[in-house]
Amino acid sequence: MADYDLSSEQGRLLAQELERLRVLLKENGNGCADAAAGEVLAILRLCPGLPLDDWRGLSSSHNLSEWLALPLNGDVFPQLVELQKRLAELAHLSDHDALTGLANRRAFERSLDLEIERSRRGHTPISLVVLDLDDFKRVNDTYGHPCGDKVLVALAEVLLQEKRRYDVAARTGGEEFSLVLTGVGLIRAQAMVERVLQAVREMDVRCGEETVRLTISAGIASYRGRVEMTPADLVELADKALYEAKHSGKDRYVSAPIPDMAAPMPEATLVHSNEKKFLFTGIK
């Protein structure tokens, strides 16, 4: 869409007014940054004589995508559909990283909490993988931040290709990524991470005339729901494993000890095991 024609006095004044409001909101707190925190306020401003197409151009030219517009005359149904579409886009953006399109930290934490609860109730496995690009600062320092962004996007594509539809891939830091693997124990998680490491080794990212090659390190923490576990506990286990991978040479993964292994066997399971032993061996 072409930039909005600033010769329109109404458009120019509206853009200035919205910018002043945006600055004012930021100066007096968090503004509109997090609609999930506390009360939600919609601010309305009537703009007679401003066509919707002109507003779209104005929004594109001045980065006003957080402001919603709805015509109040004529057939409003198409505009309500457009509004619904825009609200869906904003909802998506609230849970996704703008650069890579992966889940953001908030969505990751919510998903991890849910899957740990599911594992605890059903004693089903879950694995958390924390990944960090090796020597990423060198990429930014040598080739510039636009190249670094291309590397992050390329890694996100690798994670999306390797994960299943119901796994969660998230960007949880600058060059840190995480995977929540539902129903996956340690052995299967290790196999998947090895595929990711190999795909990153083979990744070609062009920055000008240069081809940038990188590696990645990972920490894996697996859980089967037999002991108490919080999301922070599981993240800490994976982080410690990642730290060990980094300090033992990079371009590798390290698996954390499985916390369930130290838990006592449930009584019902012991009875079942003893019954099977008697049936098959005759020894009590």
Query: Among the three residues 24, 44, 69, which one is the final residue of a domain in this structure?
Result: 69
Same domain, 110 and 210: yes
Q: How far is residue 116's CA from residue 267's CA, in Å, rounded to a whole number?
A: 23
Identify the CATH number of the domain in which residue 130 sits.
3.30.70.270
Residue 273 CA: distances (Å) to CA of 123, 124, 174, 268, 269: 17, 19, 48, 9, 6
Could you confirm whether 175 is annotated as catalytic?
yes
56 burial class (0-12, 13-18, 19+ CB within 10 angstroms)? middle
Same domain, 59 and 189: no
Helix/strand/coil percentages in the chain, nearest 5: 50, 15, 35
Same domain, 15 and 123: no
C-alpha closest to that of 234 among 138, 114, 139, 128: 128
Where does the chain have alpha helices with state H? Answer: 9-27, 52-61, 77-95, 105-122, 136-143, 145-162, 186-201, 231-247, 267-281
Per-residue b/e over 212-248, b at no fewer than 16 CB within 10 Å? bebebbbbbbbbbbbeebebeebbebbbbbbebbbee
Query: Given this model, what pLDDT does residue 265 score?
Result: 55
Query: Given this model, what pLDDT does residue 283 score?
Result: 53
CB-based contacts of 257, cutoff 8 Å, min separation 6: 237
Amino acid in the structure at residue 150: K
CB-based contacts of 131, cutoff 8 Å, min separation 6: 159, 176, 177, 178, 179, 193, 196, 216, 217, 218, 242
Q: How far is residue 118's CA from residue 225's CA, in Å, rounded to a whole number?
A: 8
Q: Average pLDDT per run of 10 along the chain, which is 284 residues long?
A: 51 79 72 58 75 78 74 69 69 81 94 94 95 95 94 96 94 95 96 97 91 96 94 97 97 94 57 48 50
The active-site residue out of 17, 175, 236, 244 is: 175
Same domain, 59 and 110: no
Q: Which residues span the domain enclosing 22? A: 9-69
Q: How far is residue 48's CA from residue 45's CA, in Å, rounded to a whole number?
A: 10
Tell me if 222 sits within 8 A of 189, measured CB to CB: yes
- Where residue 10 falls (left for φ over 0; alpha for ψ -120 to 50; beta otherwise) is alpha
Same domain, 229 and 148: yes
Residue 193 CA: distances (Å) to CA of 128, 130, 190, 282: 11, 10, 5, 44
> pLDDT tens-digit profile of 240-256?
999 999 999 999 999 99
Same domain, 121 and 258: yes
Query: Given this model, what pLDDT does residue 22 score?
Result: 76
Residue 16 CA: distances (Å) to CA of 7, 21, 188, 216, 282: 14, 9, 55, 45, 87
Query: Given this model, what pLDDT does residue 115 score?
Result: 95
In a domain, 89, yes or no: no
Same domain, 258 and 145: yes
Query: Given this model, what pLDDT does residue 18 score?
Result: 80
In a domain, 79, yes or no: no
In a domain, 208, yes or no: yes
C-alpha closest to that of 128 among 182, 162, 179, 192: 179
CB-based contacts of 283, cutoff 8 Å, min separation 6: 277
Same domain, 152 and 244: yes
